[in-house]
Chains A and B, each alone.
Chain A
Amino acid sequence: MAAPDELFCWEGAWGLPSVSSDCLTVLAYAQFAGAPLKLRKISNPWRSPSGSLPALRTNQNETLSRPADIIIHLRKQKFNADYDLSAREGADSLAFISLLEERLKPALIYNSWVDSKNYVEVTRRWYAEHLPFPLNFLLPGRMQRQQLETLRLLRGEESLEGGEELEKELYREASDCMNLLSQRLGARKFFFRDSPSSLDAYVFAYLAPLLKAKLPNGKLQQHLKSLENLSSFCSNILLLYFPHDARESSGGQKSSSPPQPEGGDYDHVPNKRRKQLMSVLVALGAMLSYAVLTGILSIQHMQKEALEAPPPDRQTLDPLDEDEEGDG
């Protein structure tokens, strides 16, 4: 137990400690179990030891990336949030986690990655703004394709045609699932007893992003908000276990929307500038390389002169080098 394990997670947004459900699961579980983790919130999956997020680097230098594996690992380290549960309750939590994975997960994937309005205005936008430069153009699209493929495989159907019908069906299943959870939770604070367990971590992780994200197409979100006990369950956990993130968001909420977009702009402007700079650079580069190319062609014609009046191409290249350094 010398050095604490290191946990790599996606950055947070919308008052959540992380945007990804898988990361939230691990974060919440670690909080519930009181596991001391060295947390690294990053926005570049390539900087994670496994290439994906979340990832846990143990002090034995092992890397775990499935939330279930990480939880098992933490359990082995005696950080067990389910310690108090009876065998029967353990069985129940296993069953409800399966319910979440089978019924809720496909709809959540659909909600944030397939629904085009949500994807373009929220999901892609967030990743595009937070990923570092070349990745922000590549990764969101790739992640979407992966999620689509996952959805297709989860459903086990040939293709995801059927658009609206599929959406209806997924959302109906998910709403059913939320109803069941709400019924199971009843008026209690947590699913079992007075302290949260792994099931609470999973439910929180799946539902909190749905509750907090500002989705333009909010059919599923509406349904969740109508289930009061479930939505207050999420806010409660947020307040109790992630007070820092929650305060940030409520601070933002108090002064209402203005700071939020401003914050967005603050994030946005440097990107914009960087993009402008990039486009200017690309154009400049193209023009210069064209000039160099034609220059070289003409040089071959009159090589002797070129010797005397040294490199016209060097002159053109130098400022380019400087620019690139300035950018990098």
Chain B
Amino acid sequence: MSLAAEAFVSQMAAAEPWPESATLYQPLKEDQILLSDCASSLAVQAYLRMCGLPVQVVYKSNAEYMSPSGKIPFIHVGNQVVSELGPIVQFTKAKGNSLSDGLDDVQRAEMKAYMELVNNMLLTAELYIQWCDDATAAEISRPRYSSPYSWPLSNVLAYQKQWEVRRKMNAIGWGEKTLEQVYDDVTQCCQALSQRLGTQPYFFNKQPTELDALVFGHLFTILTTRLTSTELAERIKSCSNLLSFCRRIEQTYFEDKSS
């Protein structure tokens, strides 16, 4: 979705095979990264693992500014730089790796719609909780976000970021929502995902797609990240099939690799 006109990217990327030296950049894992960035980054990592494309994760404190779209994460492959899941999916597709080729038109439409559901509701809710909930912003988001910088720049950057996110929330009409309403939105979103998943192993039956990677990235991150309140994780935990879905992907794509 970034400035990366995907068509351009795919033109450039075609033919060349996936190099061993591909790297994925994200902010510092221990001290800096925030829930929403971590979720997006995990989604991309999950997607690349599902495709069987090796990528080395690099932690840089200025990853956000290195990214061509200003968004986390981005990958550096050959001399290409591509950020965010959508363009990365296009990019791998141009290189001959795709997870959604087996779907028919309606299924592909549904897959894209559900991906936007995750972006529209889960990602926005994560941003809302990080920056618009005062307790979370003060205790977690601002200190973590500004950790690589020295005073007074740290404060300036953190408040600048908070201000920007709040303006975005106002622009999309989330400004007046209460925290409770946001949690309800998350519940609604999770129930929708849970309904769609049903008893299948993946959203479109046997094969994982980019939607599975995206959902896994967000849910797993929410479940494993400590926030000021556990409410967000609790809302997800009410959908048991999503929990086992997360566990399944973790076991299939993350655990056996590390062992």
Contacts and interface: CB of A to CB of B under 8 A. Distances in A.
Contact between chain A and chain B defined by CB under 8 Å: yes
Interface of A: 66, 68, 87-88, 90-92, 94-96, 98-99, 101-103, 149-150, 153-158, 162, 165-166, 168-169, 172-173, 176-177, 179-181, 183-184, 186
Interface string B93-127: 00000000000011011101110110111000000
Given A102-B116, A158-B70, A183 B168 contact: no
Most B C-beta atoms less than 10 A away, residue of A94, A168, A176, A181: A94
Given A66-B173, A88-B195, A98-B121, A162 B116 contact: no
A interface, over-half SS: helix
B167 A92 contact: no
A49 B116 CA distance: 33
B195 A91 contact: yes
A184 B106 contact: yes
A158 B69 CA distance: 9
Contact of A95 (B71, B105, B192): B192
Interface residues of B, number: 37
Nearest to A176: B112
A184 B109 contact: yes
A179 B121 CA distance: 23
Contact of B112 (A91, A99, A166): A99
Contact of A94 (B3, B176, B188): B188
B171 A149 contact: yes
A177 B1 CA distance: 13
Given A162-B3, A165-B3, A102 B119 contact: yes
A94 B5 contact: no
5 contacts: A87-B195, A95-B117, A154-B168, A156-B69, A157-B2
A153 B114 CA distance: 22
A90 B71 CA distance: 31
Interface in B5-36: 5-7
Given A98-B116, A98-B119, A103-B116, A183 B3 contact: no
B155 interface: no
Contacts of A154: 168, 171-172
Contacts of A68: 173
A95 B168 contact: no
B166 to A, nearest CB: 10
Contacts of A177: 112
A183 B110 CA distance: 10
A128 to B, nearest CB: 24
A92 B110 contact: yes
B196 interface: yes
Given A88-B198, A169-B5, A184-B109, 9 more contacts: A66-B176, A87-B191, A94-B121, A95-B196, A96-B113, A98-B113, A180-B108, A183-B105, A184-B113
Contacts of B112: 99, 176-177, 180
Nearest to B69: A157
B172 A94 contact: no
A96 B113 CA distance: 5
Contact of B120 (A66, A91, A98, A181): A98
A90 B195 contact: yes
B243 interface: no
Contact of A157 (B5, B70, B172, B198): B70
B196 A92 contact: yes
B193 interface: yes
A87 B6 CA distance: 35
A183 B171 contact: no
B81 interface: no
B227 interface: no
B140 interface: no
Contacts of A96: 113
A328 to B, nearest CB: 36
Interface in B171-205: 171-173, 176, 188-189, 191-193, 195-196, 198
Nearest to B86: A173
Chain A to chain B: the 9 pairs with minimum beta-carbon distance, closest first: A91-B192, A98-B120, A180-B109, A95-B113, A95-B117, A98-B117, A91-B195, A99-B113, A153-B168
Contacts of A179: 109
Contacts of A94: 117, 121, 188-189, 192
A186 B117 contact: no
A180 B167 contact: no
A156 B71 CA distance: 8
